[in-house]
Structure 1
Amino acid sequence: MSRALIVIDVQDSFRVRPDWEHTNNPGITDKVNRLVRLARDAGDTVVWVLHSEPGSGDVFDPALGHVRLMAGLEQHEDDLVVLKTSHNAFTTTNLQQELTLRGVRELTTCGIRTEQCVETTTRVASDLGYQVTFVSDATGTHPITRDGVTLPAEEIVRRTEFVLADRFATVTTVDALEQRAREEAR
């Protein structure tokens, strides 16, 4: 069964936002690159998803130049790049068709924002019949304040892990996936 790594919104748009200084995972590119190496070593498809809001005039407007992968990410020219305009990577893209053409049935998800685009993509992928692995420590988010209450990033990640596990995805870490790959290589 063919697999794909889906890297969601690890793009400069987030780095130029004021709330980036509060992200729980400013070194996300290191963890993502470890996943990319694992995927490539296994012969898996690597998909880079970028969020784009053409004409919005904000950091997600491609005309401003921030809708690009963060520096240091290990992209190859044969990787698939998808531009989305919704919270998940499927609804406004041809991602499902591309995965079907490649025979992909298993997905690994990671990226920015844990509880928004990564969680939503994970849920939709599960609904579409994919077996999904959500790599929690290769996601990033920031605290959210609403109605005078702030939910810390760590709680947001924990909540996302809790609601995805055993329903929509297997929740794991980069270290655990690397360990599994070492064991399978023996």
Structure 2
Amino acid sequence: MTSSRAMPVEALLVVDVQSAAVSGDRAVPGTDRLVDRTADLIARARRGGALVVHVQNDGAPGAGDEPHTPGWELHHQVEAGPAEVVIRKTRDDGFHETPLGGLLNDSGVRALAICGVMSEICVQTTARTALALGYRVVMPHDGHATHDIPAAPGISDAVPAAAVSRVAEWALGSELEVVAHAADVAFAAPSRRR
């Protein structure tokens, strides 16, 4: 479902906005826009009393996001506390073998927004699990990004990153609430805190 303005959500998941994804030669296209939008979402979620969860990928040895390397570091400053946490993951899904589900449940979250990278991988996979678990999920179109898909001879031409991101949203089905702009996401405090 696409809408112009979303009803308030009680949590923001910031997926894999790490140095390797937003700086240097591995940065996603439109990094400046993405960083601006995710920073705005984080600031407004904090002001609204929403739970902010930074999901940090622990990449394999040699990967750009290998733990404790410069590329692994979160791009946005974390205000650690009961309303803002970091959850580390080793798979595409932010819920897989992490405390994310329990944290959302314990905090009384029923609706959440998801932003970050990569649209068709970790963002989409985490959103799909959230939907399957019964959460209301809002995705700001300008709040997630990915890379172009290179041409595959005999299969397809290159697919621009903007098209990949849109298909990632579309593939999540009609339960996903897509809003055009990160500024259209509203935040509220969860009904209860841990």
After TM superposition, the score normalised by the length of structure 1 is 0.84
Structure number with higher strand proportion: 1
Q: Deviations over 1:141-183 (max 9, x none)?
A: 110115233110111122123223523x1001213226x99xx
Residue 24 of structure 1 contacts residue 154 of structure 1 at CA under 8 Å; is this kept in 2?
Answer: no
Q: How many percent identity over aligned positions?
A: 30
After TM superposition, give the deviation of residue 15 of structure 1 in Å. Answer: 3.8
* Preserved CA contact (<8 Å) 2:138 2:178: yes
Distance in structure 1 (CA, Å) of the matches to 2:51 and 2:22: 26
Look up the match of 1:35: 41
* Counterpart residue type for residue 28 of structure 1: L
Task: State the shift of 1:19 in Å.
Answer: 3.8
Residues 176 and 165 of structure 1: CA distance in aligned 2, closer, same or farther (over 3 Å) = farther
Where 2:158 maps in the other structure, the secondary structure is strand
Higher helix share: 1
Taking the aligned partners of 2:26 and 2:43, their CA distance within structure 1 comes to 29
1:129 to 125, 128, 134: 134
Change over 3 Å in CA distance of 1:16–1:137 after alignment to 2 = closer
Unaligned runs of 5+ in 1: 182-186
Q: Separation in 2 of the partners of 1:68 and 1:143?
A: 23
Count residues in correspondence: 175
1:1-186 correspondence runs (5 A): 3-15=10-22, 18-20=25-27, 23-53=29-59, 56-70=61-75, 73-78=76-81, 79-148=84-153, 149-164=157-172, 166-167=174-175, 169-172=176-179, 173-177=181-185
Give the Cα–Cα distance (whole angstroms) in 2 for the partners of residues 158 and 111 of structure 1: 14
Q: Pairwise CA RMSD of aligned residues? A: 2.3
What is the TM-score normalised by the length of structure 2?
Answer: 0.81
Cα distance in 1, alignment partners of residues 56 and 137 from structure 2: 20
Q: Which fold has the larger relative contact order, with Cα–Cα distance below 8 Å and residues 6 or more apart in sequence? A: 2
